[in-house]
Amino acid sequence: MPEDIGTGGSGGTAGSGGGGSMPSAGSPGTGGTPASDAGDAGPRDGGRTTLLDNPVADLPQDLVDVGIYTAIPSLTMTDARAFYYEPKHALWSNGLEKSRFMVLPKGAKIDTSVRDAWNFPVGTLFVKTFSYRDSTGKVIPIETRLIRRVSDTGEVFEQWTFDVYEWNAGGTAAKLIDIKLRTPRQAIVDGKTITHNIPKLADCWNCHIANKTPIIGFDELRLNSVLQGQTQAQLDKVIGSGWLSAAPAKPWLVITDPNPLQEQVFQYIQANCAHCHNGEERLEPGARYPGLDLRWDKILKNTVNIMTMTVGTASGYRIVPGDPSKSILFLGVSRQGSAEVKPMPLVGVDVVDAKAVEMLRQWITALKP
């Protein structure tokens, strides 16, 4: 966990109460002055309300009025109602750092009756900030994404909104932007200047509405881990806060395999591919491909010595054991194939994940025919 990215609010407090009803005992990690509203579930600044007080209101133009970050430009001072978490299997995003928060409306619960598709109540907010470090190690935020549930009737994209606040170059303020088109931004990753594209709305839908539930990274599988410096699993904290309709039965979901390399591959593919390739009917029609099921327990069966099936991609075997250079899946992820091989993931990648490519190369090379 990056030290100086928000772990404040209830996220820093083991077993803190549900819906912000308990004061935040955990003073955020580093620097800054304490937020005036720490631990107070009511409007801040003597009556000034934020989106957290009325999550289905029109979105404010300025991120500060969303109310998650209480002392911008500090990213560590956060409202006590915002729960910091890290999905156990995260998505590759051009090598950028990410921090995430969930805010549940006071007293509301997440319906967990479908194990891998939790149903979040109206008023739930998810926030995710993308950042990089400059040459001095300072965290420079680029964009803060927001997903919220505004209704429980109508089409999926009427029930959920997807928005982005773009930070200015100095990282001192962030404004709501129009996401009809992608917005390119420069960042520094591993000493190199890269271009990161802030996604357009259609991209958000491609990944989030292709999934079984629009919320991808907050479930039994992803919360089944203990964050650095803490003693309780994230899922235990969520259960302890009273946020779930029913606690998941033990043992909780986990991706394992006797072969450690294969285990890593399954985890990676689950995190980076299964929201589109999930074998389920999609929530909404569009450019997704659920028919190829890449959930971790289906990967081998559906890829090794199996032909590709769409007309949009080069024909061939998804995986040829022992030969990455003939495996369409490998050529797609490494982007080393011919023009007919669609790059994978289809959206969201401007910089190839070189470590993952190497991992897949080793794994496929070692697979026995």
Give contact residues for ligand HEC (rule: CB under 6 A): 87, 90-91, 100, 126-128, 145-147, 162-164, 179, 199, 203-204, 206-208, 210, 215-218, 269, 272-273, 275-277, 287-289, 292, 308-310, 312-313, 318, 328-329, 332-333, 342, 344-348
The 10 Å Cβ neighbour count of residue 127 is: 23
Q: Please name the residue that has the structure tokens 């300072």.
A: 138
Write down the least CB distance from residue 312 to ligand HEC, Å.
2
Write down the least CB distance from residue 305 to ligand HEC, Å.
12
How far is Cα 311 from Cα 300, in angstroms, rounded to an integer? 22
List the structure tokens of 242: 């009273």
Write down the least CB distance from residue 319 to ligand HEC, Å.
8
DSSP helix/strand/coil, 223: helix
Q: What is the DSSP letter of 247?
A: P
Residue whose CB is less far from ligand HEC, 44 or 275: 275
The 10 Å Cβ neighbour count of residue 245 is: 12
Write down the least CB distance from residue 142 to ligand HEC, Å.
12
Residue with CB nearest ligand HEC? 312
Write down the least CB distance from residue 231 to ligand HEC, Å.
23
* Structural Rg of the chain based on CA atoms: 21
List the structure tokens of 181: 């088109």
Write down the least CB distance from residue 363 to ligand HEC, Å.
12
Say if residues 47 and 118 touch (Cβ distance below 8 Å): no
Residue whose CB is less far from ligand HEC, 71 or 320: 320
- Phi, psi at 162, each rounded to 5°: -125, 120
Residue whose CB is less far from ligand HEC, 25 or 177: 177
How far is Cα 53 from Cα 72, in angstroms, rounded to an integer? 18
Say if residues 103 and 52 touch (Cβ distance below 8 Å): yes
Residue whose CB is less far from ligand HEC, 38 or 127: 127
Residue whose CB is less far from ligand HEC, 45 or 297: 297
Residue whose CB is less far from ligand HEC, 44 or 100: 100
Residue whose CB is less far from ligand HEC, 51 or 347: 347
Write down the least CB distance from residue 215 to ligand HEC, Å.
4
How far is Cα 188 from Cα 30, in angstroms, rounded to an integer? 23
Helix and strand tally (H, E) in the chain?
Answer: 8, 8
List the structure tokens of 367: 């697979």
